[in-house]
C-alpha cells in the first residue's frame, strides 16, 4: 500500500508529530522523500507544511507585491540615475555568495531586489534614457507576458498548445496587415491558407540565422553539393552599416569568414547600401566561381538609422537567385504609419523580413517577428520529427508546428503579449505612439540645428538623432571627436541622461534615441538643456 508508504516517510512522520501541520485542505498529500539523505530534513526546522510552489493564494500575494513594486518603480524611475555608479562585481559583494538552505518570506527577496539590485540597474524604463534604441513597453504587453509566464505552455507543436500556436499566427497576420506586407507573407489570407508564414523569435540574430541556414541549404542543393563540400564557395552580402550580429550569424551558420562581404557605404548614399556596388561585387564573385547566396538589407541601421533600398537590392539579388532578408528590427515598427511605409517598398520581392516589436511597438522583450514568403523554405532546413512529438494534427499537414521555424524546440506562449498590444490599443494609438516619438525627435533635431556649436551628422529618418559638437575655428575633427567623447561621459555621469555613441564616416557621433515609453516632451527638453549646459562647461 503506497499511501501507507508515503505516510511512513520521515517527512510525513515529522509532519504528523507537530501541531503546526496545516489543515487537510491546505496541505495536499504530496509525498515526502523516500530517499535516504540527511539533506532531506533540512527544510523541516523552518517550515513543516508541504511545499506548494503554485499555491493560488501565494501566487496572488507574490504577484501583487511585484505589481506594486512595478507601479512604484515607474513612478520613481525618473529620479533614479539612468546609468548606475557601480563597480564590476558589486552585486556579488552585496548578496550572499551561496544559495540559502532555508526558505525565506518573499518580502526578503523583494527587499534585496530594492536595496541591492535596483541601484545597479541601467534604467531602460527611465524617461531620461536616450541610449541605443529604447525598449518600448506597455501595460498590455506586460500583462500578456505575465499570463504567458503563468500558463507556461511549451508550444513546440500545434498540438502541444493549439491556442498558443494559433495566437502567434494570428498576431503575426495582424501585424502583417499593419505593415501592409504582401499577403504572400501571411499564414492565412482572406482567400484561405497562405503559403507564407511567420514565427516569433527572441532576437533578430535568430531570424538572420535561420534564414541564412535555409538559404545556405537551398544554395547547396542547387549547386549539387555533396553534403557541405561546396559551403566554402557560398558568399553573403550586407552593407558595412549592417548590425555586427549579421556577420556573427553568418559565421555561426558556417559561411567562410572570407566570403562574408561587408560593402562600404558613405555619405553619398546616407550610409545606405549602393545597389550598383552590390551588383559589381556579386558579379565579381560569380565570375570567380563563388555562389552568391544571401543579402541582408537593413531598414534603419543601429548605428545611424540608414536605410538600404529594399526594392533595388531585391532586383540585384534576383539576377543571382540570392535570398534577400530585410532587417527592420527597429524601424519596421514605424512602417505601420503610411508616411513611413515607403521604406519597405519592394518587400514583395524579398524572401524574408524581420522586425522587433520589443524595440518600438510597445511589447516587452523578447519579441522579434520573422516573416518568410514561402514557409516551407524554412521548415525544409529546420524540421525535426522525433517519435515523442508525433501527433495526428502534424500528420494531417493542416497545422503549423512552430518548432520547425526556429533554432530550438521549446517556446513560450509568445504571441499573447503582441496580440494584447494590438487588441487593446488598436492601430490608431500605435500610430500615434510612433508619430509622437518622431515628433519629439524632430523637435530635438531642430534644437541641434538651431545651435551652431553642433551638427546633425546624418539625416534623421525616424526617432534617432545623430549629432555632434562640430569642429569650428582652431578645432580639428580629432579635437571634436574628443570633445564629443568628453561630452558623452560628462552627460552620462550626471545620471540625468544616458546617451550612447557611434562612429559615422570615421567621426565620433552622439546618438539621441527618443522613445522610452515613459518619455514626454519635457524630458527631451531637459536633456537638451543638460547637453547645452554640459557643452558650455567643456568648451569654455
Q: Scanning the structure block, which residue is given the C-alpha cell 539579388?
A: 317
Interface positions, 70-99, toward its own copies (CB under 8 A): 70-75, 83-84, 86, 88-92, 95, 97-99
Residue from 393, 471, 486, 538 in contact with its own copies (CB under 8 A): 393
Q: Residues 120, 84: contact at Cβ < 8 Å? A: yes
Q: What residues does 298 pair with on adjacent strands?
A: 327
CA distance 194 to 185: 8
Q: Which stretch binds its own copies (CB under 8 A): 18-26, 210-218, 371-379, 455-463?
A: 210-218
Q: List strand residue ranges (DSSP E) for 264-318, in order.
A: 291-298
Residue from 204, 211, 333, 534 in contact with its own copies (CB under 8 A): 204
Main-chain phi, psi angles of 388, to 5 degrees = -75, -5
Q: Residues 499, 131: contact at Cβ < 8 Å? A: yes
138 belongs to the binding site for its own copies (CB under 8 A): yes
Judged by CB, which is closer to its own copies: 43, or 475? 43
Q: Scanning the structure block, which residue is given the C-alpha cell 505593415?
A: 179
Decide the pairing of beta strands 260-263 and 188-189.
unpaired
CA distance 261 to 281: 9
Alpha helices in 450-520 (DSSP H): 477-494
Check residue 295 and report its DSSP letter: E
8 belongs to the binding site for its own copies (CB under 8 A): no
Interface positions, 303-362, toward its own copies (CB under 8 A): 303, 337-339, 356, 358, 362
Judged by CB, which is closer to its own copies: 137, or 265? 137
Binding flags for its own copies, 484-513, as an x/- string (CB under 8 A):
----------------xxxx-------x--
121 belongs to the binding site for its own copies (CB under 8 A): yes
- CB 383 to its own copies: min, Å: 8
CA distance 160 to 391: 9
Residue from 268, 428, 452, 474 in contact with its own copies (CB under 8 A): 428
409 belongs to the binding site for its own copies (CB under 8 A): yes
Q: At what angle do helices 375-382 and 204-223 cross, to 10 degrees?
A: 80
Instruction: Please give the size of the binding site for its own copies, defined by CB under 8 A.
Output: 207
Residue from 218, 273, 353, 364 in contact with its own copies (CB under 8 A): 364
- The set of catalytic residues is 388
Judged by CB, which is closer to its own copies: 161, or 535? 161
**The three grid cell numbers given for residue 252, joined into one nine-digit string:** 555561426
468 belongs to the binding site for its own copies (CB under 8 A): no
What end-to-end distance do the CA atoms of the chain give, in Å?
88
146 belongs to the binding site for its own copies (CB under 8 A): yes
Binding flags for its own copies, 438-457, as an x/- string (CB under 8 A):
xxx-xx--xx----------
Amino acid at each position: 500500500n503506497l499511501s501507507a508508504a508515503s505516510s511512513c516517510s520521515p517527512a510525513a512522520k515529522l509532519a504528523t508529530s507537530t501541531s503546526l501541520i496545516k489543515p487537510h485542505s491546505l496541505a495536499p498529500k504530496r509525498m515526502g522523500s523516500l530517499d535516504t539523505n540527511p539533506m532531506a530534513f533540512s527544510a523541516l526546522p523552518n517550515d513543516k507544511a508541504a511545499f506548494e510552489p503554485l499555491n493560488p493564494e501565494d501566487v496572488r500575494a507574490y504577484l501583487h507585491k511585484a505589481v506594486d513594486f512595478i507601479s512604484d518603480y515607474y513612478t520613481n524611475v525618473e529620479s533614479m540615475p539612468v546609468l548606475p555608479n557601480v563597480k564590476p562585481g558589486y552585486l556579488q559583494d552585496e548578496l550572499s555568495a551561496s544559495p540559502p538552505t532555508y526558505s525565506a518570506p518573499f518580502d526578503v527577496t523583494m527587499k534585496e531586489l530594492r536595496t541591492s539590485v535596483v541601484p545597479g540597474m541601467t534604467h531602460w524604463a527611465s524617461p531620461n534614457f536616450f541610449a541605443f534604441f529604447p525598449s518600448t513597453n506597455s501595460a498590455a504587453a506586460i500583462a500578456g507576458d505575465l499570463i504567458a509566464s503563468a500558463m507556461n505552455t511549451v508550444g513546440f507543436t500545434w498540438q502541444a498548445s493549439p491556442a498558443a500556436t494559433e495566437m502567434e499566427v494570428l498576431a503575426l497576420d495582424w501585424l502583417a496587415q499593419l505593415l501592409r506586407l504582401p499577403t504572400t507573407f501571411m499564414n492565412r489570407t482572406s482567400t484561405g491558407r497562405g503559403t507564407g508564414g511567420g514565427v516569433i523569435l527572441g532576437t533578430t540574430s535568430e531570424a538572420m540565422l535561420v534564414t541564412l541556414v535555409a538559404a545556405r541549404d537551398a544554395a547547396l542543393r542547387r549547386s549539387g553539393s555533396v553534403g557541405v563540400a561546396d559551403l566554402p564557395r557560398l558568399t553573403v552580402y550586407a552593407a558595412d552599416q549592417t548590425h555586427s550580429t549579421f556577420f556573427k550569424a553568418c559565421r555561426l551558420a558556417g559561411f567562410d569568414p572570407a566570403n562574408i562581404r561587408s560593402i562600404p557605404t558613405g555619405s553619398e548614399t546616407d550610409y545606405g547600401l549602393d545597389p550598383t556596388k552590390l551588383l559589381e561585387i556579386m558579379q565579381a564573385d560569380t565570375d570567380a566561381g563563388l555562389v552568391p547566396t544571401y543579402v541582408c538589407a537593413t531598414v534603419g541601421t543601429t548605428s545611424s538609422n540608414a536605410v538600404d533600398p529594399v526594392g533595388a537590392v531585391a532586383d540585384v539579388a534576383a539576377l543571382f537567385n540570392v535570398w534577400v532578408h530585410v532587417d527592420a528590427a527597429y524601424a519596421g515598427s514605424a512602417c505601420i504609419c503610411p508616411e513611413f511605409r515607403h521604406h519597405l517598398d519592394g518587400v514583395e520581392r524579398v524572401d524574408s523580413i524581420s522586425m522587433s516589436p520589443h524595440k518600438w511597438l510597445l511589447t516587452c522583450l523578447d519579441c522579434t517577428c520573422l516573416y518568410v514568403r514561402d514557409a516551407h523554405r524554412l521548415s525544409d532546413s529546420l524540421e525535426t520529427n522525433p517519435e515523442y512529438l508525433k501527433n495526428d494534427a502534424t500528420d494531417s499537414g493542416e497545422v503549423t508546428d512552430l518548432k520547425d521555424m526556429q533554432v530550438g524546440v521549446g517556446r513560450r506562449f509568445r504571441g499573447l503579449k503582441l496580440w494584447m498590444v494590438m487588441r487593446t490599443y488598436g492601430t490608431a494609438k500605435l500610430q500615434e505612439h510612433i508619430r509622437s516619438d518622431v515628433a519629439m525627435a524632430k523637435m530635438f533635431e531642430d534644437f541641434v540645428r538651431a545651435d551652431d556649436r553642433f551638427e546633425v551628422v546624418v539625416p534623421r529618418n525616424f526617432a534617432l538623432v545623430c549629432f555632434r559638437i562640430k569642429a569650428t575655428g582652431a578645432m580639428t575633427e580629432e579635437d571634436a571627436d574628443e570633445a564629443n567623447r568628453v561630452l558623452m561621459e560628462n552627460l552620462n555621469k550626471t545620471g540625468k541622461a544616458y546617451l550612447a555613441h557611434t562612429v559615422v564616416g570615421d567621426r565620433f557621433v552622439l546618438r539621441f534615441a527618443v522613445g522610452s515609453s515613459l518619455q514626454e516632451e519635457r524630458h527631451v527638453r531637459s536633456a537638451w538643456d543638460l547637453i547645452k549646459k554640459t557643452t558650455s562647461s567643456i568648451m569654455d
